Amino acid sequence: MHRAFHILLWAFLLTIVGIIIINIAAGIAYVTPDVISSNSMGIFFIILAFACFTLEILTPEFGLFTAAGIVSLTIGSFILFSIDPWLIIIVDAAVAVISYFVITRVIKAQHRKVTTGKEEMLGQIAVVKETLNPKGLVFYRGELWTAVSDSGLISAGDEVVIRQIDGIILCVTRKKEGGND
């Protein structure tokens, strides 16, 4: 709970800082058009937009940085390009849709269960090939493994659940009827 609070606090602070930076930049662009060239401000806003998109991927902000990035991209586009405003809105909408799909895919990939290595084996079912008393052999995905039972004697042919991996030795328990454990 304590760690979750700190993560949420930092996420909130990063969001506030991002909003403040965008507002300061907008204020500078509005107040001092003679001091800073409009091209420089437009480029700044577009770079800020892609920085916001990157921050969205790296932090669990649920769209706040993406929204700030889209606003920044729109402002930068209006400053930098003197073309039809509808074209800018269409391009920004396309960037928003693409960003949404990319960011949701990245977030799903980050939350996906590990599918390789020993972490993937945990909770999986293996078949006993040599009686476990408490040590013996189990068969898992085409390989024989040395296993140690933590639930007593387990006969050959029975199914076990992999609970832990200690080097090359599997720690297993008897599979209960009708379930995975």
Report residue 153's pLDDT band, with 50, 70 and 90 as the boundaries: confident
Beta bridge partners of 169: 146, 166
pLDDT at 116: 67
State pLDDT tens for residues 52-83: 878 777 776 667 777 888 888 888 888 888 88
pLDDT at 128: 92
Read off the pTM. 0.46
Q: Residue 35: give the domain boundaries.
A: 2-111
Q: Does residue 181 lie within any of the structural domains? A: no
21, 15 in Cβ contact below 8 A?
Answer: no
Q: Does residue 180 lie within any of the structural domains? A: no
User: CATH number, domain at 141?
Assistant: 2.40.50.140
pLDDT at 47: 87
Percentage of the chain modeled with pLDDT above 70: 78
Q: What angle do CA 26, 32, 33 make, to 5 degrees?
A: 90
Helical H segments across 32-136, by residue range: 38-58, 64-80, 85-111, 118-121
- Angle between helix axes 38-58 and 2-31 (nearest 10 degrees) is 170
pLDDT at 29: 65
Q: Which residues contact 58 (CB under 8 A, 6 or more apart)?
A: none
Same domain, 57 and 33: yes
Same domain, 39 and 97: yes
Same domain, 100 and 129: no
